[in-house]
A and B are shown apart, each in its own frame.
Chain A
Amino acid sequence: MGQITLNQITKSFGDVQVIPPLDLRIEDGEFVVFVGPSGCGKSTLLRLIAGLEDVTSGQITIDGRDATEVPPAKRGLAMVFQSYALYPHMSVRKNIAFPLRMAGLDKPAQDAKVAAAAKVLNLTDYLDRKPGQLSGGQRQRVAIGRAIVREPAAFLFDEPLSNLDAALRVNMRLEISELHQTLKTTMIYVTHDQVEAMTMADKIVVLHAGRIEQVGSPLELYHKPRNKFVAGFIGSPKMNFFMGSYAAEYDAATIGVRPEHLAVSATDGKWAGKVGVSEHLGSDTFLYVDIDGLETPITVRASGEIAFRHGDAIYLTPDAEKIHRFDNQGLRIA
């Protein structure tokens, strides 16, 4: 079981309130991702749940029990840190067994659990090595191994992949998702990378300046962002925003169009512009188009075969069904 609720929790460091009153409910077995720009309070929120920081006010419950004052060791949660935080003086075996040893399990039971975890994580051959002798990906797996042997109520991941190189990151992302499918345990995952959030989450919590901007499934956030911040944060490349007369036409203060919802033509279309930089990725081409009256270039996602050169005239037409409208507060107009 691993149902966690946050009830009007706040956190202040000195006079600075980093988390204003916040409510959140995480269901048992859910994969929840906290995402937001750096400094948005997502790691602080995770550390509050872990108990590594004390809440200033409010209540945290885990499976219905009030855990607000419970020390981290007794919350029944396991955490995987960004730096892996392995014990450098212990072998892999001892690292993984450490939580079991702290729980007072006897040696044979420890060994059995460590062996099982090592098998799942492909670490069997490395059990007698020290963390210093492992690669980044292997260290990360040891950290995960140390978390899973405890059979925690929930796993907490604090940007676990940001120290890995790009290729390994994709692999580990899959492995963590796979692990969630197997264990069906609640996982709370913190990242600043919206791609990780979109690909892994059942539920995404978008945070900005300590506030929850929106909670929803990846596709809900993609199709119906509640405000401009979420609209701009979710989706890659970022959504294009148009203001002034472009937006007034649609009865909005701002309109947003995703790069993949713009049709491209060399001859006619709604908005005329000039091609700036084009990035050819093979499968796609990203065009950066300068349009009169707009300060920043518009990003367009076109097919990989398209052939525009720098300075060419181009016409863009938005998919009318997929235009996002926002009022002057930045909130979505239904």
Chain B
Amino acid sequence: MAREVSNRRKALVTVCAWAIGIAIFFPILWTVLTSFKTEAEAIASPPSFLFFDWTLENYSTVQERSDYFRHFANSVIISFGSTLLGLLIAIPAAWSMAFVPGKRTKDVLMWMLSTKMLPPVGVLIPIYLLFRDSGLLDTRIGLVLVLTLINLPIIIWMLFTYFREIPGEILEAARMDGAELWEEIVYVLTPMAIPGIASTLLLNIILSWNEAFWTLNLTAVDAAPLTAFIASYSSPEGLFYAKLSAASTMAIAPILIIGWFSQKQLVRGLTFGAVK
């Protein structure tokens, strides 16, 4: 029997949900609003919420001062590149851990996760030196590599949990039907794991897109993605809130749009396997 929920309770839950939702969304909304203000209005106290002189000046200044589209292209290449490369490595890895686990599989999984517990700054110097000596500093390929490695544990973990939901008998059936290992993975496992793979893909694109530690420390000009683009507006000469906001809005807009259109897939993927 379904639990009865009183109207009062329903109203309370709704109000709470909206309050939390707005609290989470408010900083983004404020950033977007600030990006349409002049610098003076941006720091005015008390701040005006909607009634100010709307201007697009910040956007044109930002585009003039630094090339948005070059940063945007770098962000796309780095986030998609590192995610796709990661999936290429992670699918076979997760396959073997889910379907032919060994004695140490659990330890390997824990060990991979433990690399995420280390603060990245702890390995900044060795990685920086490695990059410098191999000429990878400020290159897209270097960033793709480092972000692949940083996110690989998460990709493998996510795929591993999705793959474990797939009955092994179906893969055995494919083997009996004459499928080679790669055919088994390409024709049977991957299509069955599409929801899981899609949400892994989306989540990792978002993570890589927003990654700011490595992208800021390992790039200068050529490979600088949108994170570096935003950071360039918090300069030593002082903060320009309105321009910083315009840059931020431009940086987060693409990922916000992707996230909006794929939210169904994301939620489905993240809860995949929770109920059979």
Contact = CB atoms under 8 A, between A and B. Distances in A.
Interface of A: 50, 52, 71-74, 77-79, 81-83, 85-89, 98-99, 102-103, 146, 150, 156
Q: How large is the interface on B (under 10, 10 to 19, 20 to 34, 35 or more residues)?
A: 10 to 19
Given A50-B176, A74-B178, A87-B173, 10 more contacts: A52-B175, A72-B176, A73-B175, A81-B169, A82-B169, A89-B194, A98-B174, A99-B177, A102-B178, A156-B176
Interface in B145-179: 167, 169-170, 172-179
Contact of A52 (B172, B180, B191): B172
B28 to A, nearest CB: 37
Contact of A150 (B172, B173, B178, B191): B178
Nearest to B190: A89
Contacts of A72: 172, 175-176
Given A87-B188, A89-B192, A102-B183, A73 B176 contact: yes
A89 B191 contact: yes
A79 B179 CA distance: 13
> Chain B binding site: helix, strand, loop or mixed by DSSP?
helix
A88 B192 contact: yes
Contacts of B187: 98
A96 to B, nearest CB: 10
A79 B176 contact: yes
A83 B188 CA distance: 16
A85 B178 contact: no
Contacts of A73: 175-180
Contact of B178 (A50, A52, A86, A103): A103
16 contacts: A52-B172, A52-B176, A71-B175, A72-B176, A73-B175, A73-B177, A78-B176, A79-B173, A82-B169, A83-B169, A86-B170, A87-B188, A89-B194, A102-B177, A103-B178, A146-B177
Contacts of B177: 73, 78, 98-99, 102, 146, 150
B175 A85 contact: no
Nearest to A71: B175
A85 B169 contact: yes
Interface string B39-65: 000000000000000000000000000
